[in-house]
Homo-oligomer: A and B are copies of this chain.
Amino acid sequence: MTEQTTQEHLQTVNESLESGTTMQIRYLLNGALPAQDVARLLESSPPKERKLLWDLIDDKNEGEVLQYLSEDISAQFMKTMDTERLVAVSEQFEHDDLTNILQHLPETLVKEVLASMTAQNRARVETLLSYSEDSAGGLMNTDTITIRPNITVDIVFRFLRRHQELPDMTDNLLIVSRSDKFLGTLPLTKLLVADTSSTVREIMETETTTITSDMPASEVAQLFEKLDLVSAPVIDPETKKLLGRITIDDVVDVIRDEAEHSMLSMAGLEDDEDTFAPILKTTRRRAVWLGVNLVTAFIASYVIGLFQDTLDQIVALAILMPIVASMGGIAGSQVLTLVIRGIALNQIGATNTGWLLNREIVVGALNGILWATVIAAMTALWFDNLQIAYIIAAAIIINLLFAAITGTMLPVILKKLGVDPALAGSVILTTVTDVVGFLSFLGLATLFLV
């Protein structure tokens, strides 16, 4: 549960595995720990132990644990099940969670699971499967409690009491017409203080934010954050019929994924990256990113190579040139990170990009002048050469200006082109700051010193 306890459980599990006794682990995995903690334990284990632990979980508990695992890992385990187990486990999922996992399974398994369901459930899941995972339709569930507008509060209470229990996170009753058109909501907090003789129509809220099934998940998340929602109805964009509802727990996942996405993408990692992925999978994924960056590195080397003769004459240039490239890279990635976040938060658009670019150029110039002075002074002292000091100062200022412009405009342009700025931004930025850094420093040196 807390940091200590997850690590403590891992400790216990490791010790038991080493000593070969599985009794205590079985006890932990099958009841002593809540399913969420078991899922956390599996996610925090390397592949071999993960498999071992999974085998120690009783069949009847597997379904619940799967629901709390990341979809990637759930799907891995489910792929290895025979049809009967797969079907048994699927029955324990809520429809929206099941849909998400089915999207990670091979077509044949999906068909088997669907074939095993009742016609009604199959129809529901098939509808959910028809929505994109990144849309409101993909986030919603169908466990709504609906009432008609013309009944009284008293009857609502009686109607509710007929239920064994209400679905989790029910904070609103949803009001629909005879033809299932969405009319409004009745918050429980309002129902509970209402006069029992009023009708639903009199007290329901009609200015509710409704979400259409095609709204992108990121917009859904913004709405929930802005309006402090716990749940919200989802309607069909054309017929206005109620399709289901989205609850905050699923939205929190979207918010976390989105916030993590930029950081992981900037390092070329996948969103759902498994910290404990096996060696070959990890090697393959990392190799791609290293390859992309090698192209950048060779471009930089090519630029340096253009000035071979200059470098041959003045070795101090070779010693100092990484400083110019590195300062540009650092300055650029600060701007890039800020702008990528600003775009993700929808703060940046056509109206304020100009101001931002302008500010970044001024900031780049000011910091360029400041650090160019420092670097020039140190260079003059180190190499006892004023000319090189002037040249490195000029190169630093030039590179920081390019870094400011690239850092601001690159993500804006990439976004317009439909390319993920977090993924492509850092590679392109590094190429620019390396090339401009080496080109300006060695170029100026060639012009003035050789």
Residues on A lying within 8 angstroms of B by beta carbon are 1-3, 6-7, 10-11, 13-14, 36-37, 40, 43-46, 68, 157, 160-161, 163-171, 188-190, 192-195, 219, 222-228, 230, 248-249, 252, 255-256, 259-260, 262-264, 266-269, 273, 275-276, 278-279, 282-283, 286-287, 289-291, 293-294, 296-298, 300-301, 304-305, 308, 311-312, 315, 318-323, 325-327, 330-331, 333-334, 336-339, 341-342, 345-352, 355-356, 359, 362-363, 366-367, 370-371, 374-375, 378, 382, 430, 434
Selected from B43, B290, B352, the residue in CB contact (under 8 A) with A45 is: B352
Interface centre among A13, A351, A352, A367 (most CB of B within 10 A): A351
Q: Which residues of B are found within 8 Å of A349, using beta-carbon distances? A: 3, 6-7, 10, 44
Q: Which residues of B are found within 8 Å of A2, using beta-carbon distances? A: 219, 222
Q: Is the CB of B269 within 8 A of A337?
A: yes
Q: Is the CB of B297 within 8 A of A327?
A: yes
- From known contacts A168-B189, A286-B363, infer whether A315 and B322 are also in contact, taking CB-CB under 8 Å: no
Q: Is the CB of A164 within 8 A of B189?
A: no
Q: Is the CB of B230 within 8 A of A248?
A: yes
What CA separation (Å) do A43 and B83 show in the bound complex? 53
Give 17 A-B contacts (CB < 8 Å), ordered by A residue.
A1-B226, A3-B346, A36-B226, A44-B346, A44-B349, A68-B226, A166-B189, A166-B192, A255-B259, A267-B336, A273-B341, A275-B338, A291-B371, A294-B371, A298-B323, A304-B322, A305-B319
Q: Which residues of B are found within 8 Å of A166, using beta-carbon distances? A: 189-190, 192-193
Main SS at interface, chain A = helix
- From known contacts A286-B363, A371-B290, infer whether A320 and B341 are also in contact, taking CB-CB under 8 Å: no
Q: Which residues of B are found within 8 Å of A167, using beta-carbon distances? A: 189
Q: Is the CB of A165 within 8 A of B190?
A: yes
Q: Which residues of B are found within 8 Å of A363, using beta-carbon distances? A: 279, 282-283, 286
Q: Is the CB of A334 within 8 A of B267?
A: yes
Q: Is the CB of B279 within 8 A of A362?
A: yes
- Looking at the assembled complex, report how far the CB atom of A84 sits from the nearest CB atom of chain B, in whole angstroms: 29
Interface centre among A266, A294, A327, A336 (most CB of B within 10 A): A294
Q: Which residues of B are found within 8 Å of A337, using beta-carbon distances? A: 263-264, 266-267, 269
- Looking at the assembled complex, report how far the CB atom of A152 sits from the nearest CB atom of chain B, in whole angstroms: 15
Q: Is the CB of A290 within 8 A of B330?
A: yes
Q: Is the CB of B228 within 8 A of A275?
A: no
- Looking at the assembled complex, report how far the CB atom of A365 sits from the nearest CB atom of chain B, in whole angstroms: 9
